[in-house]
Chain A
Amino acid sequence: MRRIISVLLENEPGALSRVVGLFSQRNYNIETLTVAPTEDETLSRLTVTTTGSDKVIEQITKQLNKLIEVVKLVDLTEGAHIERELMLVKLKATGSQRAEIKRTVDIFRGQIVDVTSSVYTVQLAGNSEKLDGFIQAVGTSGVLEVVRSGVSGIARGEKVLSL
């Protein structure tokens, strides 16, 4: 099952490599990984999406917790949560395609953020399925380049992951 694990990590050199190393060392999957400092500059927030049986996920969270630099973590998929991924796509856009792509971008609530005579660069945020859906809708043949941020997530409601 797919899980989103959100981690508060000491913002120190080498901390990220420990997390990544743990996944490869113990043969766990990383599907996406995002990391950036938080409003408290001593902490980074890391979001990792992974798949595995309940037993594997339990081990992943326990092993992550064992890392000295991991301060706190939560498996967001255990409760209601919001997940977002940012995608930038360069699409071939000439002739009648231009209007069609514009319409599709509007339907997906994306924005065209850069334009040339033959290329649109589209920005789109949403959950991963929505981004997949957009690529499907415009058709892979027109796609010149895709860059995705990986998933960031946060719990719904009052629940907060903080010190």
Chain B
Amino acid sequence: MKVLRAVFLVLLGLFFFIPLLAMARFAFQSVPVVLLTPEKLLEGWSVSGLIEVFGSPEFQKAAFISLQLMLLAIAITLVLLLPVAALVEIRAPQLRTAMAAITLLPWVVPPIALVVGVAATFRNTVPWFLASPYSLVPFYVLWALPFSYRAIDAGLRSIGARTLYEAARVMGASTFTIIVRVIVPNMIGAIIAASVLTAALVLGEFAFAALLLKETLPTFMAEFQRSEPRAGMALALAVMLLTALIIWIGVRALRKRGMDLQAAGV
């Protein structure tokens, strides 16, 4: 039984690790697989391809757009969601089920579905809206909702937001003051988690941006890999590691506060 379990865990570990390793080799070793022999394993390693991508103006433009989308999506998520989540938890707990249901709906309308609806409605009525890459922001906020709301909700519950609220209220603080000066500073962990999950989503979203012909990091990556397979692979690996790093930071921030990242909706 113990042996079986160890074998299972090792095989699973290989399944998760090998693709990354293969990716790194392809990205940084300029020896085609066909010519690769055991003697050549250490030849031709270089990161020049990746450095070159970082220098290209197209990459910088796409990365800058993605960075802006990421920050805007995080900002809007927090401004829009945090007060609602806090007040629902504090003053209208009977609405929590409704909030949980609403924030799960983006799961039902994934990017590939919503893009059709957006093309059907917005393209005719407000064509200027879809012209700018920033039009992606509200949709990214939306798809991150199942994750971001659950992170914030878990945070509110773990700090005992209602008790804090009542204590501050008794001492005469206004609702606004309580949220800004009591609730928010106490749930930095949850805020980081919500931001991290939103950031990961923005860094990975491809369908919506591609179909609306917007040049973001993922769409640039797909295009670029076609002309420069090696450097494209290196870039993909870099983005993957960056995503992993961002989420890792979130997990660490949560664990410090005795919480865990919640899977969406479950």
A, B from the same assembly: no
Chain A interface residues toward B at CB < 8 A? none
